[in-house]
Each structure stands twice: as structure tokens, then as C-alpha cells.
């Protein structure tokens, strides 16, 4: 099992490029199941989750060609298997994104229930309720969701209001509705940039999707979809992670190939803390923590466009170096403070009260042997290790490989003393 070895205390300087967004690439890859024609995706990040979904698509019978490292040409012309097995779904919950496309195009699907995960249960009830409203017959059989379209073979449009915001639920039902008969309206829909990116691909494929990026999305169903070519948006969470990496190490980075407008809430919070963030152009940010005094600021995680839950752990690492007390309240996932205990092993002063972490700073961090519990926790421990005095060893970095493309290479290129131990 791979580990990261970090020698901390080195400011980061230079340029770093952001990869494609894993959370945008996954639904776009699943959307290729909606057509027999080829869907070409550019800027697909080379991360474990995308490799897992590629394997699932191939197991279903799709062909995935990579003429270039970050380009996927996906053909679902000869899909024969309509099942996503537990062995794959348990390693990546986003595998459930194939459910909507399979039912919409082929009339049936059998997808394993994801089960629990380190940061919470994340049930798919809202996906299933939405499919039922679209006319599907949905049942649970031996740990699998079995969904079948009506006897007509085609889903039918419906009005669906989510009881709470769900990103994958919005994406799954948006894909399913593209081939449904009639009009579908999704209310209280997720507004994330990744949802907008998926809608842009679907429209390029001939779908009629309006309102993506707002809380109401309208989909007018069509008979069939075609192939298309699409470039995945940059990863806003990777962008935010590098912004904090520059700040926490008291360095200065130019972060390229990003979309600053997708990270407005994080940038505003960092500026309030005292981090210098300058927008150079539409795809480049310059961030500096050099000679800056950081002041603790509270944060509450909420759905987009507010502060994202996927930046909470990284922000906690920064708050260990800020003057004062910061209250970090997590409203999305119930178990997302497991990294706090590992940071405390490094000298952080953190108290957990229910859904709130109280961080007292600044405290000097000392290198230690720590263990990652999930994807973003991994990133937060890397940040803490970069800021700490001495050597940090991080176990279970396979978590970080799920969503960050060769992060150790990118950090080493801007001055970090980090290496992977295999």
C-alpha cells in the first residue's frame, strides 16, 4: 500500500496546472451509454475513479479508446450487459450514475446498492424515487437495484422535486429524462458546475436541457441522442487545494487552467482569512501566503454556490495556522471530521462538537505518522505535512489517487519535498 513521505517547512513557488474535474468526467462518461454513437471526451483526469468507471463501461460492453492520455472515445453501440456489480460500485459510489442512462436507453438495469462509506451513508433513495416518477418499476433484490421502464419501453416525463439537494441524483435523473417521452422538470436541483458541464454535453448530443446551473432544470425528451465531442471543465476542488497549499506553506503559486468563477465562495473566504488571491485572467489565479497574517474565520459547508464540503478538510488545515478560533460546521456529510484526529496527532488543537469542528490557532504542526480516511482528508493531511516541521508519513494514499492526478509530482515541481513510497 503506497504512502507519502513529506519533509515540511518549504514554501511553494512556481506554476501548477489544474487537471480536469473528476466529478464532471464521471457523469459525462456515463452519458455515453445514452447513444450508440461515439462520445469523445477531452481533459479526462488520469485518476483512479475515472479508471474504475472506464472498467465498468467496458464490462457493460462499451468500447473505450484513449488515442491520447486524457482523451476518451467511448462507444456504447454494443452494450450487452446491463448490470453494475458490487465489486465495482463498492470501490466508487459514482458507479450508480449508469443507472439512469441504462434504464432510459435499454429499458432496464441492475445496479448494486453502494452501501456506506467513510464520510457517511449517502443513500440513493432520491435517485430511485425520481425513476419511479419517470414511470420505472424499481425493486430491491439481494442488494441490487433493479429498474425497468414501463411496458412501452420508454420512460415518461414528470415533475420531480428533490427533498434535499443531490448532485448525483440530479445528474442521474437528468440523463434518464433526456430519452423520456415528454417534459421533465427537476426542482431543488443541484447547481454545481459539474451539473452544468453534463448538461452541455447532453445538449451537444441532441438533448433539450434548459436551466442547468439553477435550481430548476427542464428536460424535453427526444427519441434518440447522437455522438458528440466535449472538453471536461477544470477541477475546482484541486484548484482550491493548490490555493491553500500556497497559503499554508507561506509560498506563492500561479494556478493555471482553472475556472475562478467556479470557486468564488472559497476565494472570498481565503481573502477574508488574509490570503492574497489575484485573478490574472479567466483561467489563471495567483495566490500568496508570503508575509501574510492569517485570521481565523468560521465556515459552514453548503451546496453550491456556497462553501463546498469537498474543501472543508483543506480549510481546516489552514485554520490551524490562523490567529484565533474558527468554527467549521459540516452540513452535508455526517462523518467528515475523521481527519481532525490525525491533525491533532500533528499538534493541531481541534475540538469536535457534533457537526462542528472548533479549531484554535495558530499552532505549530509537527511531522507524524498519520492515516488518510477519504479523498479530501488525504489532501488535508498532505497540506498539514507541507506546513509541519519535520517528516510526515501518510498511509492509505490510494484515497488521494481517486481524485488528484499525480499530486505528488505537481507539488514536487513547485518545491515540495514529497515522495511516494510503494
| 22-231 belongs to CATH 3.65.10.10 | yes
* Strand order from edge to edge, sheet including 349-353: 299-300, 324-329, 356-361, 349-353
Measure Cα distances from 169 to 97, 196, 366 in Å: 8, 14, 41
pTM higher than 0.85: yes
User: Any catalytic annotation for residue 258?
Assistant: no
pLDDT at 333: 75
- 3-19+234-421 shares its CATH topology with 22-231: yes
pLDDT at 262: 98
pLDDT at 373: 87
Q: E strands, 12-70, where?
A: 13-17, 39-42, 63-68
The top-level CATH class assigned to 3-19+234-421 is alpha beta
Catalytic residue among 28, 50, 117, 286: 117
Provide the angle, in degrees to the nearest 10, between the axes of the packed helices 125-133 and 99-106: 20
pLDDT at 339: 92
CB atoms under 10 Å from CB of 76, counted, come to 26
Q: State the sign of the Cα–Cα–Cα–Cα dihedral 247, 249, 252, 253.
A: negative
Could you state, in order of their start, the residue ranges of all structural domains in the chain? 3-19+234-421, 22-231
pLDDT at 117: 44
pLDDT at 119: 35
* pLDDT tens series, the chain, 422 aa: 899 999 999 999 999 999 999 999 999 999 999 999 999 999 999 999 999 999 999 999 999 999 998 999 999 999 999 999 888 888 888 889 999 999 999 999 999 887 544 434 457 889 999 999 999 999 988 889 999 999 888 999 999 999 999 999 999 999 999 999 999 999 999 999 999 999 999 999 999 999 999 999 999 999 999 999 999 999 999 999 999 999 999 999 999 999 999 999 999 999 999 999 999 999 999 999 999 999 999 999 999 999 999 999 999 999 999 999 999 999 987 667 889 999 999 999 999 999 999 999 999 999 999 999 888 889 999 999 999 999 999 999 999 999 999 999 999 999 999 999 98
User: Under a CB-based contact definition with an 8 Å cutoff, are residues 145 and 128 in contact?
Assistant: yes
Amino acid at each position: 500500500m503506497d504512502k507519502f513521505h513529506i519533509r515540511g517547512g518549504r514554501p511553494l513557488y512556481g506554476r501548477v496546472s489544474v487537471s480536469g474535474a473528476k466529478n464532471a468526467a464521471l457523469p459525462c462518461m456515463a452519458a455515453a451509454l445514452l447513444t450508440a454513437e461515439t462520445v469523445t471526451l477531452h481533459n479526462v483526469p488520469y485518476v483512479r475513479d475515472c479508471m474504475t468507471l472506464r472498467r465498468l463501461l467496458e464490462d457493460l460492453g462499451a468500447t473505450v479508446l484513449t488515442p491520447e492520455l486524457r482523451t476518451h472515445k467511448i462507444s456504447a453501440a454494443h452494450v450487452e450487459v446491463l448490470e453494475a456489480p458490487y465489486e465495482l460500485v463498492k470501490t466508487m459510489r459514482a458507479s450508480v450514475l449508469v443507472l439512469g442512462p441504462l434504464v432510459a436507453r435499454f429499458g432496464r438495469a441492475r445496479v448494486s446498492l453502494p452501501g456506506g462509506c467513510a464520510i457517511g451513508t449517502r443513500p440513493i433513495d432520491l435517485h430511485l424515487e425520481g425513476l419511479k416518477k419517470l414511470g420505472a418499476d424499481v425493486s430491491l433484490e439481494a442488494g441490487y437495484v433493479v429498474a425497468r421502464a414501463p411496458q412501452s419501453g420508454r420512460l415518461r416525463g414528470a415533475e420531480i422535486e428533490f427533498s434535499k439537494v443531490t448532485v448525483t441524483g440530479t445528474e442521474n435523473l437528468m440523463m434518464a429524462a433526456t430519452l423520456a417521452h415528454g417534459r421533465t422538470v427537476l426542482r431543488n436541483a443541484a447547481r454545481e458546475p459539474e451539473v452544468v458541464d453534463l448538461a452541455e454535453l447532453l445538449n451537444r448530443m441532441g438533448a433539450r436541457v434548459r436551466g442547468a446551473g439553477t435550481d430548476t432544470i427542464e428536460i424535453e425528451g427526444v427519441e434518440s441522442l447522437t455522438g458528440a465531442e466535449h472538453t471536461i471543465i477544470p477541477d475546482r476542488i484541486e484548484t482550491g487545494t493548490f490555493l491553500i497549499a500556497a497559503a499554508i506553506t507561506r509560498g506563492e503559486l500561479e494556478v493555471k487552467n482553472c475556472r475562478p468563477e467556479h470557486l468564488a465562495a472559497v476565494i472570498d473566504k481565503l481573502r477574508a482569512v488574509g490570503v492574497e488571491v489575484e485573478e490574472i485572467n479567466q483561467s489563471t489565479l495567483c495566490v500568496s501566503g508570503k508575509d501574510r497574517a492569517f485570521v481565523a474565520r468560521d465556515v459552514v459547508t453548503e451546496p453550491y454556490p456556497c462553501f463546498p464540503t469537498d474543501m472543508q478538510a483543506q480549510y481546516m488545515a489552514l485554520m490551524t495556522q490562523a490567529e484565533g478560533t474558527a468554527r467549521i460546521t459540516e452540513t452535508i456529510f455526517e462523518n467528515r471530521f475523521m481527519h481532525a484526529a490525525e491533525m491533532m496527532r500533528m499538534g493541531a488543537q481541534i475540538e469536535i462538537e457534533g457537526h462542528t469542528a472548533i479549531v484554535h490557532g495558530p499552532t505549530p504542526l509537527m511531522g507524524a505518522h498519520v492515516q488518510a480516511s477519504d479523498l479530501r482528508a488525504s489532501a488535508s493531511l498532505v497540506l498539514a505535512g507541507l506546513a509541519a516541521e519535520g517528516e510526515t508519513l501518510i498511509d492509505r494514499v490510494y484515497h488521494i489517487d481517486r481524485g488528484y492526478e499525480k499530486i505528488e509530482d505537481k507539488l514536487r515541481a513547485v518545491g515540495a519535498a514529497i515522495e511516494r513510497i510503494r
